[in-house]
Amino acid sequence: MKQITFFVLLFLACSCGEQKAEKTIKTPVKKSFKTIGHKTIGVILTEELIIYDLHKNELKKVGNLYGEIVQIDSISKNKYDLKNTDDRCNLYNFVKVRSKKINGWVYSPEVFEQQIASSPMNKSPEDTLFHFKGIQIKLIPTKNFNIGVYDEKEDMLSFCSGNQSPVILYNSIYNKYEYIPISNETSKEINYSFKYFTFDSNDGWHDELISSDLRGNVLTLKIKREFQEGHTKIVIQIQLDPNQSHGKIISFEHDPYSYD
């Protein structure tokens, strides 16, 4: 009996020793990205975004966001490619946004901020402020958080697509900032590129404001869009509205250059 008890105790002691010798396997923790302050205004032009933590982990999805005006507080110090490709056109910053609908870190080519030129090569259209008998109208061109028209690290043109500049429009009549959806009211097919008002300066074309006029709640803008092979004169009318203002293209005339 004593021998049996001895062997049982010896077995238990060995078992405990083996358990203590086992190593705990830990899941690697993603390194958090560094952030920098970056306070400006922005707009979201997609229906849904994912909220991330500082380790790039997905936390939740937020919907019903298209056209949402946001305040931007910070961005990641570096740009990241969540697709894990070798294409630098897929590099974007994480962006900390906040509004009534969303608050947190997001990552998307459809998040835009007020344009600020990062270098002489990455030029940006400037904000334009109009005064009409005490009424203020402001056009704020925006850009997303990719590397831009000029890749400063590679010291060359990026040739990345998607370098459009949707406009955030402010009007003092209703004291609001908003994006402007655009429809075509001409009798012909046109190539305006996007379904919202843009004001661009990129490797494809350069926009120049020719004139502006405000009558009642209707803002009329004449824009010259310069291409390598010619230019287009565009007339846009924007109906200002307390809920959502809308624009329509009422004239779109392309004038190719003549080399005769």
Q: Where are the domains of the chain?
A: 31-114, 118-142+166-260
Q: Which of 157, 123, 129 is nearest to 143 (CA)?
A: 123
What pLDDT is attached to residue 29?
Answer: 60
Residues of the chain below pLDDT 50: 1-14, 16-25, 259-260
What pLDDT is attached to residue 153?
Answer: 77
- The number of angstroms, rounded, from the C-alpha of 17 to the middle of its chain's C-alpha atoms is 57
Distance CA 168, CA 44 (A): 11
Cβ-Cβ contacts under 8 Å for 136 (sequence gap 6 or more): 129, 130, 170, 171, 172
What pLDDT is attached to residue 2?
Answer: 46
What pLDDT is attached to residue 151?
Answer: 77
What pLDDT is attached to residue 20?
Answer: 43
> pTM of the predicted model, to two decimals?
0.83
Q: In one letter, which amino acid is 46?
A: T
Check: CB of residue 198 under 8 Å from CB of residue 99.
no
